[in-house]
Amino acid sequence: MKPDMSVEIAGIKLRNPVMTASGTFGYGKEFADYMDLEKIGAIITKGLSLRPKAGNPTPRIVETPGGMLNAIGLQNVGIEAFIAEKAPFLRTINTPVIANLYGNTLEEYGELARRLDKVQEVAAVEVNISCPNVKQGGIVFGTDPRAAAEVVAMVREATIKPVIVKLSPNVTDIVVMANACAEAGADALSLINTLTGMAIDLQKRRPVLANVTGGLSGPAIKPVALRMVWQVARAVKLPIIGIGGIMTANDALEFLLAGATAVQIGTANFLDPAAAQTIAMEMERYLADNGIADVKELIGALRY
């Protein structure tokens, strides 16, 4: 018997729990030559802002033990170009597309959600709150529960599409953030975004990244991500999308046990452009091999 791999997040039906993480999968098309985009659960696009954004100076990326740091600086084509140039390709693919968005002010978040509300090929929005609020002198929405709740309420009001909030791990207590977003009307939570880190070139006595600090991703962050997913899943009723260092089907299944309903594949796409498809396929094989009829049986099924 073929196991049932389907899951549902905030009313969106996914053929399997494997999505691609924002910023690691471009706008989908970049990977079409390497994999079947209709064999994964959903595609999450690069973070979109109201206007095109230049991003940071280079170097922007550096490899670290078991991971990488990036300081891309959210370079993106902007919402208008996304709708005009990127969405038409995504329309041709029978896989839900989730638009990741971020603003520099509360109002920008609202405006983005309003514009995306009318874009048919977007099944849901994922709100990246890990960016500084320029109006309030750069306080990060994602580390202040009250600011985060305001963003979520703003987006909630602006769209009828499901609202997924992507949490930053760079906080003292992620459960406080999760609760604040849940109360403000989030339909689902995704976690984690990258952990702030830094690399230094000893010879040059300089930071490696032009931006000095960057976001750590890859296998190195998986234990932190698993712990946070587990904590949030126990505290909050919303469906959770687990992210962080997933390289294999086993990694993904561990996130389900910790309480995630679905997962996102990020850095692994760089090592293997077919990673998301392979992981989905191998999860299914694991279920078949272990006589598990439905992937949903594994969600939160951690034994103590």
Partner 1 sequence: MQYKAMVISNQEVSSGYYRLRMTAPKELAEAKPGQFVMVRVNNSIDPLLRRPFGIFDVGSFVPEYADVGRQTYLEILYKVVGKGTAMLAALHHGDHLDMLAPLGKGFAPGDAGEEKILVGGGVGLAPLYYLAKELVKNSRVHLFVGGRSREDVLCITEFERLGVETYVATDDGTLGERGLVTEVLEKQLQQGATAKTIFACGPYPMLRAVAAIAGRTRIPCQVSLEAYMACGVGACLGCVMKGRNHTEATPDYRCVCKDGPVFDYQELQWD
Ligand X SMILES: Cc1cc2nc3c(=O)[nH]c(=O)nc-3n(C[C@H](O)[C@H](O)[C@H](O)COP(=O)(O)O)c2cc1C
The residues carrying an active-site annotation are 131
Q: In 10 A of CB 200, how many CB atoms?
A: 12
Contacts of 53 (CB under 8 A, 6+ apart): 73, 74, 75, 76, 78
**Residue 128: both structure tokens together:** 């990246």
Q: Indicate which single residue of 16, 133, 267, 277 sits in contact with ligand X (rule: CB under 6 A).
A: 267
Distance CA 304, CA 301 (A): 10
Binding partner selected for residue 300 from ligand X, partner 1, none, CB under the kind-specific 5 to 8 Å limit: none
- Comparison of 24 and 133: residue with beta carbon closer to ligand X: 24
Distance CA 262, CA 275 (A): 16
Residue 104 makes contact with ligand X by CB under 6 A: no
Q: Minimum distance from CB of 102 to ligand X (Å)?
A: 7
Element (H, E) at 184: none
Contact code string over 227-256 relative to ligand X, x by CB under 6 A: ----------------xxxx----------
Residue 16 makes contact with ligand X by CB under 6 A: no
Percent helix, strand, coil in the chain, to 5, is 35, 25, 40
Enumerate residues 45-84 that contact partner 1 by CB under 8 A.
46, 52-55, 58-63, 65-68, 70, 72, 75
Enumerate residues 234-253 that contact partner 1 by CB under 8 A.
247
Element (H, E) at 33: none
Q: Where are the alpha helices (DSSP H) in 82-166?
A: 87-91, 106-117, 145-158
Contacts of 135 (CB under 8 A, 6+ apart): 104, 105, 106
**Residue 293: both structure tokens together:** 């009829």
> Judged by CB under 6 A, which stretch of 15-23, 112-120, 133-141, 175-183 contacts ligand X?
15-23
- Comparison of 18 and 151: residue with beta carbon closer to partner 1: 18
Q: Minimum distance from CB of 220 to ligand X (Å)?
A: 8
Q: Are 17 and 7 in contact (CB under 8 A)?
A: yes
Cα 85 → chain centroid:
22
Q: Minimum distance from CB of 146 to partner 1 (Å)?
A: 31
Binding partner selected for residue 128 from ligand X, partner 1, none, CB under the kind-specific 5 to 8 Å limit: ligand X
Residue 221 makes contact with ligand X by CB under 6 A: yes
Which DSSP state fits 56? Answer: P
Positions touching ligand X (CB under 6 A) are 21-24, 46-47, 70, 72, 74, 100, 128, 166, 193-194, 217-218, 221, 243-246, 265-268
Positions touching partner 1 (CB under 8 A) are 23-26, 30-31, 33-34, 46, 52-55, 58-63, 65-68, 70, 72, 75, 218-219, 247, 267, 269-274
